[in-house]
């Protein structure tokens, strides 16, 4: 994507994989429950690291974690933990690996879809912020604190308010592209397909 008509958010770049992520994924409303769960897990693995590190390892993560299928991962135990701790392609952190397994079980135990669980916090409609500079963008918000608290009540781990807010930004529950960034308007337009009732409208 060309940087015409404005400038990208300051965090994007300079590596092509980072620019592509900013230009095609970050801030795009995500409604698929499994994809939402995958992004929450990856944001948890990012804790203490840079996002570019996770991006570069994402293919290896997907291979190591069975395509991030929570139904499969929920049945894993110590043998799989040991296998993952020996995998140089991923972030080898026992706590985060074990949290992924427990988060898969929490996902499976939800009485409602994970997508509905999350999107209800914004009434099904992405929040539209209008930040002029990177310095204005918060690290967490009262809403991310509430979502984090509820995720923990539901059995999820590695989902503190800061991780949760980064996840909400990435999955488009909130549009935090800077107003000068061409992707702000593009993601806002995608949000027009949402309905305040929480149901997604079919495209015209």
The binding site consists of 9, 22, 177, 181
What was the pLDDT predicted at 198? 41
What was the pLDDT predicted at 84? 98
Q: Which residues pair with 174 in a beta bridge?
A: 127
Peptide bond before 14: cis, by omega within 30 degrees of 0? Answer: yes
Comparing 10-19, 111-120, 194-203, which segment has the lowest mean pLDDT? 194-203
Would you say residue 196 lies in a domain?
A: no
Would you say residue 7 lies in a domain?
A: no
Would you say residue 146 lies in a domain?
A: yes
Q: How far is CA 90 from the centre of its chain?
A: 18
Residue bearing tokens 């590190």:
53
Comparing 6-15, 123-132, 161-170, which segment has the lowest mean pLDDT? 6-15
CA distance 193 to 152: 30
Would you say residue 6 lies in a domain?
A: no
Which 3 state secondary structure label does DSSP give 66?
A: helix
CA distance 133 to 76: 43
The binding site for Zn(2+) consists of 9, 22, 177, 181
Would you say residue 41 lies in a domain?
A: yes
Maximum Cα interatomic distance, the chain, rounded to a whole number of Å: 52
Check whether 1 has a pLDDT greater than 50. Answer: no
Would you say residue 136 lies in a domain?
A: yes
% of the chain surpassing 90 pLDDT: 88
Q: How many domains does the chain have?
A: 1
Whether the model pTM is above 0.85: yes
Would you say residue 200 lies in a domain?
A: no
Would you say residue 150 lies in a domain?
A: yes
CA distance 151 to 187: 25
Q: Is the CB of residue 144 less than 8 Å from the CB of residue 164?
A: yes
pLDDT tens across 38-83, in order? 999 999 999 999 999 999 999 999 999 999 999 999 999 999 999 9
Q: Is the CB of residue 168 less than 8 Å from the CB of residue 174?
A: yes
Q: What is the CATH number of the domain that holds 22?
A: 1.10.340.30
Arithmetic mean of pLDDT, 109-128:
93
**Residue ranges making up the domain that contains 73:** 16-191
What was the pLDDT predicted at 203? 30
């Amino acid at each position: 994507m060309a940087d015409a008509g404005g400038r990208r958010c300051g965090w994007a770049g300079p590596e092509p994989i980072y620019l592509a992520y900013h230009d095609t994924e970050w801030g795009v409303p995500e409604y698929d429950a499994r994809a939402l769960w995958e992004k929450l897990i990856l944001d948890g693995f990012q804790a203490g690291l840079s996002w570019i590190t996770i991006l570069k390892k994402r293919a290896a993560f997907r291979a190591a974690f069975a395509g991030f299928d929570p139904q499969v991962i929920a049945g894993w135990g110590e043998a799989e933990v040991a296998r993952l701790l020996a995998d140089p392609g991923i972030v080898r952190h026992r706590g985060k690996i074990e949290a992924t397994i427990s988060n898969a079980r929490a996902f499976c135990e939800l009485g409602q879809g994970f997508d509905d669980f999350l999107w209800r916090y914004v009434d099904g409609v992405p929040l539209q912020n209008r930040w002029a500079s990177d310095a204005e963008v918060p690290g967490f918000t009262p809403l991310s604190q509430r979502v984090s608290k509820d995720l923990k009540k539901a059995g999820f781990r590695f989902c503190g308010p800061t991780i949760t807010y980064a996840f909400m930004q990435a999955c488009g529950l909130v549009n935090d592209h800077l107003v000068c960034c061409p992707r702000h308007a593009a993601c806002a337009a995608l949000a027009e397909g949402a309905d305040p009732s929480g149901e997604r409208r079919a495209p015209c």
